[in-house]
Structure formats: structure tokens, C-alpha cells
Amino acid sequence: MKSFKRKIILSLLLIAGVSSCSKNTQDSDLALNTINAEEIKTDGTFEVMELPAPPYVQSAVGNRAAKKVVVNLEVIEEVGELANGVEYNFWTFNGTVPGTFIRARVGDEIELHLKNRDDSNFPHNIDLHAVNGPGGGAEATFVAPGKEAVFTFKALHAGLYVYHCAAAPVGMHIANGMYGLILIEPEGGLPPVDKEFYIMQGDFYTKGAYGEKGLQEFDINKAIAEQPDYVVFNGNTGALMGDNELQVKVGETVRLFVGNGGPNLTSSFHVIGEIFDKVYTEGGTTIMENVQTTSIPAGGAAIVEFKADVPGDYVLVDHAIFRAFHKGALGKIKVSGEENPNIFYEHKTKDQKL
Ligand SMILES: [Cu+2]
């Protein structure tokens, strides 16, 4: 029965990928997905989810049965670095921007614990876009400093979803870094790849201009005007640069879970020198192929996949390009290994050697 259901879901994913403009196919896919997921029984076991810090994620769910999983998130308000010499009072889930990745499968029952550390100054909560229920869990999890709230939800829809704090003023909580991603894998899991990474874009609004040193306060007027001083990946201009570059080998397949916390800007996500073999557009089940730049709305996500064919440095950008070179939206994937002259060959002319 399980493999029969899996075949149906895989077939529908395939059909959705081939004829994504067929309305009937998409409707029946979504309906089947929802009905089946509600009927999926958990296997009676439970586990406490490990929560690696970004840019890393848990291993794939594979073809395991649905189960109960416990996710422990702690809200931490803490000064950290936004850029070299620039400090900011981040509000975080588990001490990182973005918050730790959550990975489960359709049919799982997720028991989410939200603790607000006792040295916090504000109440917080969590709205997970993967939840079917009031506020995505926001009302059930509104917690004062030093308190903990718990709720359980059943994952009904496969996809990559944003979670964020929804305490008022919502824009300020998100602008301070309170967002992350939750992946709900379909039954049978996503196809295996060699490397997976977790990246989330965010825009930041500081009293000082870009690069002005010292502790920078949040600037609400710039936030309302949607004029950020910083647009960064993973909460810091250097989060994916230098010693933090993502490491990949020639020949490996790469999957990026890319989210956009906003709070305001839409990302034009691009990897310089690569073409995405697949994009799960907006984190849903429709797959686009051969994509150069994918649009990721604030509060949205995309899964992008490519194969590393040629060694070198591949730069991640928001292709609204002033954000990349003047506001920090840069990261790097270092591909190491043998040259592949069949695909890329640089002619060493006399002029180039000079
Ligand atoms: Cu908050």
C-alpha cells in the first residue's frame, strides 16, 4: 500500500513537472496530497529532532514511516555581527539567523516547543507556514520571557516553508532575524543528492549607513520605507564568504534550500556561473528546469538544484545587483577538483598572460 501511494505521488510529481500548466493535474495533486496525509498513521515512535546550525541541514528523511518528532526552539535575543565591525541586536530562533532548519515528512506529527529565554526583553511566538491551523501556531506559542509553549501539528503538505515570529510589531521581529525554514518531504523523500545547504536572505535596517561600525540600532523609518542598509544571506555579510564558503567537489549534485525572510524585499536568487537543473518554484511541488534566476518572495522559499561540473568559485547573489555588491547579498560555493575542458576551457592567449 505504501509503495502504491508512493508511486501515485511520484507519478503526479512527474506529471506536474512535465505539464505544469494543466490545472486539473495540479488540483488533483493537491487534493490527494492533503487527504492522504491526514490519513497517514504515525508508526508509534518519536524522536527529538537534531537541529544543526545553518548552512547545514539534517540528513534526508528517505523512505521512513511517518512518526512523531519533537522540535525544540529557543528564542534568544543577542548582539552579534552583521558585517565586519558592525554589531546588531539580533532576535533569533536557537541563536542563529536564520533559525535552525526543521526537516520532517508528510504525515509526521510535529510537537513544537517554543521557549523564550529568560533574559529576553520581549514576548515572541512562531508562525510556521507548514501548519494548517490558526496563525500557523502563532496564537498557541505566544510566550513571555522565561516561559515555554507547546503545540502539535500534522504535516499535510509537502514543500519548503518559511517560519517566523508573528508577535507585534511583526515587521520588527522579522527584521531583527526571527525567521527560518521547515521542509516537509513527500512520502518516500526527495531524490538523493550529494550536498545540501540552507541559505536565507534577509534585509536589515540600521540607524547608521552600510558599513558604519559599532552597535547599530534598528531603524523603523527605513524599514517602513523599504530602504535597507543591508541585504544579506544567513544574517551576516560574511556568512558564506572566506572561511565560510560552501565546499563542493566536481561531479557532485547540489541542493540549496533557499528562503527569504524579508521583511520587505523579493530576492532574485542567482548563482553566477551555474544554471539550475531544477527549481521547486516557491518551494512547492511544481518543478521548473533550466532556470537562471529564481524569484523568491518575502515569506517564501525555493529549492534549487544543480550539478557542479567545473572547478572554481561560484558566487551566490541577489541579482538585483546593487544589493549584492553594495549591501552584502553575496555568498560563495567553492567547487574543487579536476578541470573539465569538455565543458569549460580558457584559451591562454598572449594578451591574457600579460
Ligand atoms: Cu519575536
Query: Separation of 145 CA from ligand 1 center, angstroms?
Result: 11
Beta bridge partners of 312: 335
**Residue-wise pLDDT tens for the chain (354 aa)?**
344 444 444 444 443 433 333 333 344 344 445 557 889 999 999 999 999 999 999 999 999 999 999 999 999 999 999 999 999 999 999 999 999 999 999 999 999 999 999 999 999 999 999 999 999 999 999 999 999 999 999 999 999 999 999 999 999 999 999 999 999 999 999 999 999 999 999 999 999 999 999 999 999 999 999 999 999 999 999 999 999 999 999 999 999 999 999 999 999 999 999 999 999 999 998 999 999 999 999 999 999 999 999 999 999 999 999 999 999 999 999 999 999 999 999 998 877 655
Query: Separation of 160 CA from ligand 1 center, angstroms?
Result: 21
Looking at the chain, how many residues does it have? 354
Contact 229, 265 (CB under 8 A): no
**Of residues 85, 193, 78, 173, the one with CA closest to residue 124:** 173
Model confidence, pTM = 0.90
Largest interatomic CA distance in the chain: 69
- What DSSP letter does each residue of 77-114 carry, written as one string? EEEEEEETTEEEEEEEETTBSSPPPEEEETT-EEEEEE
Q: In the prediction, which pLDDT does 314 show?
A: 98
CA distance readout (Å), 169 to 176, 224, 303: 11, 12, 29
Residue 307: exposure state from Cβ atoms within 10 A (0-12, 13-18, ≥19):
middle
Cis peptide preceding 98, ω within 30 of 0: yes
Query: Separation of 295 CA from ligand 1 center, angstroms?
Result: 26
Query: Separation of 335 CA from ligand 1 center, angstroms?
Result: 37
Query: Separation of 19 CA from ligand 1 center, angstroms?
Result: 41
Q: In the prediction, which pLDDT does 25 show?
A: 37
Neighbours of 103 (CB within 10 A): 26
| All three cell numbers of 166 | 508573528
Query: Separation of 179 CA from ligand 1 center, angstroms?
Result: 9
Q: In the prediction, which pLDDT does 3 show?
A: 44
Per the listing, cell 536557537 goes with: 94
Q: In the prediction, which pLDDT does 21 show?
A: 39
Q: In the prediction, which pLDDT does 350 show?
A: 77
Q: In the prediction, which pLDDT does 293 show?
A: 98
pLDDT tens column, 28-51: 344 445 557 889 999 999 999 999
pLDDT tens column, 313-329: 999 999 999 999 999 99
Number of H helices, E strands in the chain: 6, 21
